[in-house]
Chain A
């Protein structure tokens, strides 16, 4: 097994007294794509939002437990901005900032304190290449990002996250709004990227999880039902609910 990057310990989240996550223990490993699957309302997104501290912006939540990144506590980290730089996020829907392609990536770089133009240009190109988008947009770096297609926008969002050189990448159903070809390109990029990152991939598309992820965690009603290597969980699930979900009996 590879090195443990993130450890979640007894994570409980309640929204207005209603439990969303009921005491989760799970670890994510370096150079692995870990799939997090489960039906809507199983708490997958909340888990992601806790790891990158986006949970701070949700109102009326009660959060208990610990999340460690390389042994350092994230949940009570005094500087959430620092956490979010280490833990990059790609959201379900592609949401480019209302700026040019170039500026979408440069935005985060400047916030990080990188002022040198050549350095920014280099990082923009580098991250677009890593997201398999460079060839399609290199001639229109300075036109608006909202004019790109949905699939291109999502790869731009990935590039934007990569440019900040995070250690962990969280993807919250990143291909749910994309066509199969765009989805394929994103998956291709992720397989390449896992060589350097810890990747957590949330999806409720079981086939996608099966072909892309090394490890798979199945969440149901705020609980972690089963967590095992993807091969094992898809061929020989231990729990009844996992099997039902994989076979498409509910979801």
Chain B
């Protein structure tokens, strides 16, 4: 039996709406759970004090600082390296064996489980380069981990910039470099930002690779050689060791809403910048 085309359309419309609804429900359920369990833990003291008794009491201030330092420093290294590689692949090389090889390498890198990055960071940075469990070793490991994301997204964004725009820039007396900096990268920046935000997410949420490289000291890291914890690592240890589920949810709440805030802020700034540009 054939259905009336309008009925079919309506059925599929409902079908896909249900899909979207399920996704949103899952997301809301997670946020709701974390808010319910975590919100009561929230207080100025929780945000601004150091932990006591392994985190059963006190706050999470050192871990907020640790998370911020780790994300900021690893992206500070990964963004120029990643965007630079993307510019090289798209602007300075014709498609050939070298670009294919680099792209293959980047894609393989993206598929490696984070625990292996942790193992590599431990063997190479911590032991071989004698950095010890330190912020420095964590930063370098996370940098390598997020590079593939940044390279791939930047590459796609740069490729999407119309060729005509480059020609116009050249016709106005710009060199290749001036064209890349003045026209191509600004035009590609929303796409590049997407890659950066995905990387922030990965860095903030990472635990396995960091326990091996940055360690899990409870103290406030004050130099690159200090060990320290991120919020995610703290959450993992609190929950895994059964130290305090309440404090774990409090930490999770701070973590999730910090990510949300950073995302909103980044897209707001981007939107502002794009309004001015285009």
A74 to chain B, nearest CB (A): 14
Complex CA gap A85/B276 in Å reads 27
A241 to chain B, nearest CB (A): 31
Contact A107 B182 (CB under 8 A): yes
Query: Which residues does B use to contact A, with CB under 8 Å?
Result: 94, 162, 164-175, 178, 182-183, 186-187, 275-278
Residue of B nearest to A82 (CB): B173
Q: Which of B170, B173, B186, B187 lies in contact with A57, CB distance below 8 A?
A: B170
Known A84-B172, A97-B183, A107-B169; 6 more pairs at CB < 8 Å? A88-B171, A98-B165, A98-B183, A98-B186, A98-B187, A144-B276
What chain B residues lie within 8 Å of A198 (beta carbons)?
A: none
Majority SS at the chain B contact face: helix
Complex CA gap A85/B186 in Å reads 23
Decide: A100 near B173, CB < 8 A? Known: A54-B167, A91-B164. Answer: no
Query: Which residues does A use to contact B, with CB under 8 Å?
Result: 52, 54, 57, 59, 81, 84-85, 88-89, 91, 93, 95, 97-100, 107-108, 111-112, 144, 146, 157, 160-161, 164
Residue of B nearest to A113 (CB): B173
Contact A97 B164 (CB under 8 A): no
Q: List the count of A-B residue pairs having beta carbons below 8 Å apart.
A: 64
Q: Which of B168, B169, B278 lies in contact with A146, CB distance below 8 A?
A: B278
A84 to chain B, nearest CB (A): 5
Complex CA gap A38/B178 in Å reads 35
Decide: A93 near B168, CB < 8 A? Known: A85-B173, A98-B186, A98-B277. Answer: no
B122 to chain A, nearest CB (A): 45
Complex CA gap A111/B183 in Å reads 12
Residue of B nearest to A99 (CB): B277
Decide: A81 near B173, CB < 8 A? Known: A98-B187, A100-B276. Answer: yes
Residue of A nearest to B168 (CB): A95
Decide: A164 near B173, CB < 8 A? Known: A54-B167, A98-B278, A111-B178. Answer: yes
What chain A residues lie within 8 Å of B168 (beta carbons)?
A: 91, 95, 97, 157
Contact B277 A95 (CB under 8 A): no
Q: Which of B162, B167, B174, B277 lies in contact with A144, CB distance below 8 A?
A: B277
What chain A residues lie within 8 Å of B183 (beta carbons)?
A: 97-98
Contact A111 B173 (CB under 8 A): yes
Which of A97, A144, A160, A161 neighbours the largest number of chain B CB atoms within 10 Å of its CB? A97
What chain A residues lie within 8 Å of B164 (beta carbons)?
A: 91, 93, 95
Residue of A nearest to B169 (CB): A97
